[in-house]
Amino acid sequence: MSRDDYAAVMARRNETMLAAMGLDYAPFLARPVAFDYEGLMAQVPYRLDEVREIQARSGVGNTALIELRQINRLVRSLAPRGKGARIFIKDEAANPSGSYKARRASLSLHHAQAAGFRGAVAATSGNYGAAVASQAAMRGLGCVVVQEVFDSHGIGQPEILEKGRACEVYGAEVLQLSVGPELFYQFLRVLEETGYFNASLYTPYAIAGVEPLGVEIVEQMQAATGRAPDAVICTHAGGGNLTGTARGLIKAGAHDTRVIAASVDLSGLHMASDRDFNRKHFTTGHTGFGIPFASWPDRTDVPRNAARALRYMDRYLLVKQGEVFYVTEALARLEGLERGPAGNVSLAAAIALAQEMDADQTIVVQETEYAGAGKQPSAQLGFARARGVAVRRGDPESEVPGESVMIPENPGQLRLRDASLDQLRHSMIRKAAATVARSDATFDAEDIAFLADDSRSAPAAVRAILAEG
C-alpha cells in the first residue's frame, strides 16, 4: 500500500492532526463521548482582553451596530398593536475579509505564527477561506484553501466560485475539488506535505475568536438602548458562529438574552449528493449543516469540536430560500445596505420574529457579509433556472428545495418555522448511546452530566432517552 493511498492517509489522520495544530487532544479523548469542554476551551492561552487586542492589530472587530429604521417601520406596520421589536444588525462585512469569520481566522493565525508555523490550511467552501487567506497575508504566512466546488459535470456553484476568487486575491493557493469524500483526504495530504497549521473552524482558537463579537453586541446595545438585547439571532451552520457569540454574551453578563439560531430550510437535499450539490442556492447557513452539526458536533476535522451550539441555543428558526433573496433586496432598497446572503438568513427570521415581540424589545442580527458578484440573488437565481429549478413569486410555504424557489409577493408572507430542539436533543443522546455501544465503555454519571450540558437537558431527561434502548 502506497503512503499516499487513501486508507494509509486516513489511518494517519490523528498523527497528522496533532502535528498540524500544536494542541494535544489526548486528555479529552479518554472517553468515547464525555470530555471536559471548558477544559478544552481553556487551552486557548489568551484572555478575552488579549483576544480583542490581537484582533484590533489586524483590523478585526469593533464593527458598527446599525438600527434598521426603515425595516423597523415596515415591521410595525405588519405587527399587531404593541408589537414590533426593534432590529439592529452588527455590520461584520466591515472586517478585512468581509465577514465575521475574520474573527475566527485572526486568533488562529496569530497563534499559528506564535507557534512557529510557516503557513495555514483551511478546508472550506465559504467565507472562512478568504478570512484565513487575508490574515495569513497580513502575517507573511503561506496559505492553502481546499474547496469542494464542482459536481461530477464540472459545474461550480456561483457563491463558492466567488469565495474561491476572494481566497486567490489574498494570495492563497486554492485546490478546488468535486463533491465527495476526497475533501478530507486531500486536506490531510496538504497538511502533511506543507507542515502548515490546521486552521480548522472548530478549534478552541476559532471559537474564542468569536467571543468578542458577543461582548461588543452587549456593549454597543447598552450604549444605544441602555440594556442588553432581548434576542440575538445567529445564522447557524457548523455552530461556531452561535457558540462563540453566545459565550461572549455570557461573558458580558447578558444571561437573559435569548440566543436564536436561523437556517435556510433545505429539507430533502443531501449535502454529499452529486445531484443535490448544485440544487441548493446557499452554501452555508442551511439545514444540511445546521441540523447534523447541532445534533452531533464531533463530525469535524478535529478530534473534539469546540463549537457546540445546542449548549447555547434557545430556539431554532427555519426560513425559505426565497425569503432570504427577498430580504436581501429589501435591505438594499430600504436601508441602502448591499450585503451577502449569510446574515440575511437571520434577518429574514428577525423580521418575522419581531412581529411576535413587544415594541420595547430589541433583536440583534449579529452578522452581515460582503456582497460579491457570485453572492447576488441574480447570480443564484440564474444558476437555479439553469439547473431546472423553478423560480416564481408566491407563498414561500410552497417552496420545495431542489425543485422550486418561491419569492414572497409581500413582506407579510415572511413566517416563523421552528425546528424542534427536543428532536435535536433526542438525536444527540441517541447518537452518543450508539457511540458508547461500539466501544468497551459504559454510561456513568460523568456521561450523563456531559450529555445534559451538551444537549441543554435535565439529567433525568437524558436517562429517560437512554432507557428507551
Same domain, 335 and 388: yes
Of 202, 222, 245, which closes a domain? 202
Domain, as residue range, for 440 = 426-467
Q: Which amino acid is at 100?
A: Y
Same domain, 339 and 372: yes
pLDDT by residue (tens digit) across 194-215? 999 999 999 999 999 999 999 9
Same domain, 217 and 357: yes
| Residue 296 belongs to a domain | yes
| Residue 421 belongs to a domain | no
Phi/psi of residue 38, nearest 5 degrees: -65, -30
Phi/psi of residue 245, nearest 5 degrees: -65, -45
In this predicted structure, what is the pLDDT of residue 280? 86
| Residue 362 belongs to a domain | yes
Instruction: Write down the pTM of the prediction.
Output: 0.96
Of 202, 236, 271, which closes a domain? 202
Q: Give the helix ranges, DSSP H, for 91-152.
A: 101-114, 127-139
Same domain, 187 and 250: no
Same domain, 335 and 435: no
Q: Judging by DSSP bridges, how do beta strands 65-67 and 86-90 pair with one another? A: antiparallel
The pLDDT confidence band at residue 353, using thresholds 50, 70 and 90, is very high
Instruction: State the CATH number of the domain containing residue 79.
Output: 3.40.50.1100
Same domain, 152 and 229: no
Question: Total domain count for the chain?
Answer: 3
| Residue 346 belongs to a domain | yes
Stronger pLDDT, 68 or 26, i.e. the higher one: 68
| Residue 400 belongs to a domain | yes
| Residue 194 belongs to a domain | yes
Helix, strand, coil share (%) of the chain residues, nearest 5: 50, 15, 35
Same domain, 192 and 301: no
The pLDDT confidence band at residue 54, using thresholds 50, 70 and 90, is very high
Of 202, 225, 260, which closes a domain? 202
Average pLDDT, the chain: 94
pLDDT by residue (tens digit) across 56-107? 999 999 999 999 999 999 999 999 999 999 999 999 999 999 999 999 999 9
In this predicted structure, what is the pLDDT of residue 87? 98
pLDDT by residue (tens digit) across 145-197? 999 889 889 999 899 999 999 999 999 999 998 887 788 889 999 999 999 99
Q: Distance of alpha carbon 168 from its chain centroid, rounded?
A: 22
Same domain, 294 and 193: no
- Whether the pLDDT of residue 249 is over 90: the answer is yes
Q: Is 379 helix (H, G, I), strand (E, B) or coil?
A: helix
Query: CA-to-CA distance for 68 and 270, rounded, in angstroms?
Result: 35
Same domain, 267 and 146: no
Same domain, 333 and 395: yes
In this predicted structure, what is the pLDDT of residue 1? 59
Eight-state DSSP code of residue 63: -
Taking residues 229-253, what's their average pLDDT? 97
| Residue 131 belongs to a domain | yes
Check if the beta carbon of residue 218 is closer than 8 Å to that of residue 151. no
| Residue 419 belongs to a domain | no
Same domain, 196 and 296: no
Rounded (10°) CA dihedral 14, 290, 257, 357: 180
Sign of the torsion formed by the C-alpha atoms of 282, 292, 217 and 130: negative
Q: Distance of alpha carbon 146 from its chain centroid, rounded?
A: 18
Same domain, 245 and 222: yes
pLDDT by residue (tens digit) across 256-305? 999 999 999 999 988 778 888 888 888 889 999 999 999 999 988 889 99
